[in-house]
Amino acid sequence: MLNTESLTAEIMIRNNTYLSILAYFIKLSCPWYLRAVLYRVVLQPLLIGAFLLFIVIIALLPTFAHNTLHRSALPQTLFWPEILKEFEANFPTPEELAHHVEFWKAVFSQYTRRQIILHDNTYPQVIYAVVDLDSSPGIRVALRKYTRILLQIYRKEQAHRLEDLTSEENRVYELFADISEKGKFRKAARQRIRAQSGQRENFMKAIRRSGLYQEKFEQIFAQYGLPLELTRIPFVESFFKPRARSYAGAAGLWQFMPATARQYGLQVSRHVDERYDPFKAADSAARLLKSNYDTFQSWPLAITAYNHGPGGIQKAVDQVHTTDIGKIVVSYKGANFGFYSRNYYAQFLAAAYIMLDPDRYFGKIERLPALHDENKTPAKQ
Nearest to 340 by CA among 268, 204, 248, 220: 248
User: pLDDT at position 137, please?
Assistant: 81
Are residue 140 and residue 239 in the same domain, yes or no? Answer: no
Share above pLDDT 90 across residues of the chain, in percent, rounded to a whole number: 72
Is 77 domain-assigned? no
- pLDDT value, residue 136: 82
Does any domain span residue 31?
Answer: yes
Using a cut of 0.85, tell me whether the model's pTM lies above it. no
Domain co-membership, 264 together with 309:
yes
Distance, CA of 343 to CA of 178 (rounded, Å): 20
Whether residue 215 is found in the same domain as residue 349: yes
pLDDT(286) > 90? yes
71 within a domain of the structure (yes/no): no
Q: Is residue 381 part of a domain?
A: no
- Is 177 among the domain residues? yes
Backbone CA torsion sign across 111, 113, 114, 116: positive
Residues 34 and 179 in one domain: no
Picking from 202-206, 268-272, 335-339, 370-374, which range would have the lowest pLDDT averaged per residue? 370-374
Same domain? 125 vs 177: yes
- Domain end marker among 174, 197, 220: 197
* Domain stops at, among 166, 197, 228: 197
Q: Which of 273, 197, 300, 288 lies closest to 239, judged by CA? A: 197
Count of structural domains, the chain: 3
Average pLDDT, stretch 199-227? 97
Domain match, 279 and 171 both: no
Same domain? For 241 and 92 the reply is yes
205's CB contacts (< 8 A; 6+ apart) are 239, 240, 381
pLDDT of 64 over the 50 cut: no
Q: Could you tell me if residue 337 is inside a domain?
A: yes
In a shared domain, residues 292 and 234: yes
* pLDDT at residue number 27: 58
Residue 268 lies in a domain: yes
The Cα–Cα gap between 325 and 345 comes to 8
Q: How confident is the prediction for the chain on average, in pLDDT?
A: 87
We report the CATH number of the domain holding residue 327 as 1.10.530.10
Cα–Cα distance for residue pair 167/172, rounded to 1 Å: 9
123 with 36, same domain?
A: no
Confidence category of residue 66, pLDDT binned at 50, 70, 90: very low
pLDDT recorded at residue 127 = 98
Q: How many CB atoms lie within 10 A of CB 77?
A: 7
Q: Are residues 169 and 272 in the same domain?
A: no
Question: Above pLDDT 70, what percent of the chain?
Answer: 77
Co-location of 238 and 331 in the same domain: yes
pLDDT digits 0-9 by tens, 15-63: 566 556 666 556 556 665 556 666 666 666 676 666 666 555 544 444 4
Question: What is the C-alpha separation between 315 and 297, in angstroms, rounded?
Answer: 16
Residue 303 predicted with pLDDT over 90: yes
Of 3-7, 37-41, 102-106, 178-182, the poorest mean pLDDT is in 3-7
Give the range of the structural domain holding residue 61, as residue numbers without chain letter. 4-65
b/e 107-143 (16+ beta carbons within 10 angstroms → b): bbbebeeebbbbbbbbbbebebbbbeeeeeeeeeebb
Last residue of a domain, one of 197, 212, 239: 197
Residue 70 has pLDDT above 90, yes or no: no
Q: What is the pLDDT of residues 236-245, one digit of tens each?
A: 999 999 999 9
Do 208 and 301 lie in a common domain?
A: yes
Asked whether residue 105 is domain-assigned, the answer is no
